Structure 1
Amino acid sequence: MKNDIFEAGVIYHFYNRGNNQENIFLEDKNYFYFLQLLKKYLLPICDIYAYCLLKNHFHIALKIKEKQELPEKYQEKIHLPFSNLFNSYSKSINKAYDRKGSLFQEHPQRNRVENEEYLRQLIVYIHLNPVKHKFIEDFKEYKHSSFKAYLLNKETNLDKEFVLELFGGIENFIFYHNQNKIKYEGLVEDIDNFDLIS
């Protein structure tokens, strides 16, 4: 899939990594700060379906809101909140850790999600990413992904209703993740054909 431009009403797999594969999250508070910025800059323009933050990269499944739902100042400049997110986070990390230069790879990746089956696979891929990179054995225990939020009966900033409907309910959501963890080698092989970040 090509690295697409942002358009209203479209679902994307959005991801980026540290410049020269450097870590972008250095301690726990960095993950929480990034999520605060995500809420500040991206929630006004998109719905978030899933995310996973790892030491040197992140993945997010999101849908840009319909044009009439976007703040007027972003209707023709959908990319601006994403730039603001990266700039704000990078400046904060550079100041806190006395570093200089670009924190992120120059061009974040954004791939259009064309159908529901790919979106289901993408959400599972995002949640299983810590296992793929051997950060943890049980993806359910990884604290910097959105998976646990789907199990909690409380409000979050995720579009839980849409995602659970996509999977056919919470039981199917959990089952789909567990089955794909069991078949993980096959899942990675299949989904890597969609040019997801490694």
Structure 2
Amino acid sequence: MDIRNTPIEPDCFYHLYNRGVNGEVLFKTERNYHFFLRKIKENLLSVCDLYAYCLMPNHFHLLVKIKSEDELKSLVKVPHLDKAKEGLHAPKNIFSKQFSKVFNSYSQAYNKENNRHGALIESPFKRKRIDSEEYLRKCVVYIHQNPKGEDFTNDPYSSYRDLLAGNAASLEKGEEVIRWFGDRENFIFCHQKEAEYKF
């Protein structure tokens, strides 16, 4: 199955990732990074929980867990969220539409700022379902190590520092992520080794 067509299911973890069309730069300024993260918080956190992230100049990675089916169905009645048809596909529709909001609002602002036109981010967005705690740990390390050739521990556009600092305002699920590794010391130790992640 094409990884872009992996079904979005409630109560499941996903590694979401995407890049600029033809490798185009997505984030040119600090303001761009912060605006994108704000759009994620405004639009995605109603349908999923964010566990880890990394934004690179021409692509990004997110580790999320989709809300439960009951939570997603209740959102159909929320006025500011896009409506989705009742039935088996409602959760996927709600999530996909909220993700499209992130892309569309960011792309419009970026195009206006840079006097460009047309698509900025590839579509559909890519995702990989994570089905074990071991795989979750490997995915977290992989996402944080994404800035190759750099000191990823000081990257300002990754969740690594926020997780260690317990910055709940930035990453509400930080304590849970640390628990996947046992404690902070093992979290740091596991990040010192190269991620064994099939990507």
| Bin of the TM-score, shorter chain as denominator length | 0.7 to 0.9
Deviation of 1:150 (Å): 1.2
Q: CA deviation at 1:147?
A: 0.3
Partner of residue 117 from structure 1, selected from 113, 121, 134: 134
Is there any run of 5+ residues in structure 1 with no aligned partner, and where? none
**Following the alignment from structure 1 to structure 2, what is the Cα–Cα distance between the partners of residues 72 and 49?**
21
Q: Does 1:155 align with 2:168?
A: yes
Report what 1:31 is aligned to.
Answer: 33
Does the residue aligned with 1:47 lie in a helix, a strand or coil? strand
For residues 61-111 of structure 1, give each alpha carbon's deviation from its aligned partner in whole angstroms, at most 9, with x where no partner exists.
Answer: 110011122342265422111011101100110111110010011221011
Identity %: 41
Tell me the CA shift for residue 151 of structure 1. Answer: 1.8
1:69 maps to which of 68, 71, 76? 71
Q: Counterpart in 1 of 2:104?
A: 87
CA RMSD of aligned residues (A): 1.5
* Alignment pair present for 1:177 and 2:194: no
Q: How does 1:13-28 map to 2 (within 5 A)?
A: 13-28=15-30
Aligned length, in residue pairs: 181
The runs of 5 or more residues in structure 2 that have no matched partner are 77-83, 85-89
Of stretches 62-71 and 91-100 in structure 1, the one that deviates more from structure 2 is 62-71
Q: In structure 2, how many angstroms separate the alpha carbons of the residues matched to 1:58 and 1:153?
A: 22
Cα displacement (A) at 1:7: 1.3
Q: Judge conservation of contact 1:149–1:156 (CA < 8 Å) in 2.
A: no
Distance 1:28 1:35 in 2: 11
Instruction: Say whether 1:145 aligns with 2:158.
Output: yes
SS in 2 for 1:168: coil
Q: Counting helix residues as a fraction of each chain, which structure ranks higher?
A: 1
**TM-score (structure 2 length as normaliser):** 0.86
Deviations 1:145-176 (A, max 9, x none): 00000121442342112211111111111111
3-state SS, counterpart of residue 129 of structure 1: coil
TM-score (norm 1): 0.86
Q: How far does residue 141 in structure 1 lie from its aligned partner after superposition?
A: 1.1
Task: Give SS of 2:112's match.
Answer: helix
SS at match of 1:79: helix
- Equivalent AA in structure 2 for residue 88 of structure 1: S
1:12 to 11, 14, 27: 14
Distance 2:166 2:98 in 1: 30
Name the amino acid aligned to 2:154.
E
| Distance in 2 (alpha carbons) for counterparts of 1:108 and 1:82 | 9
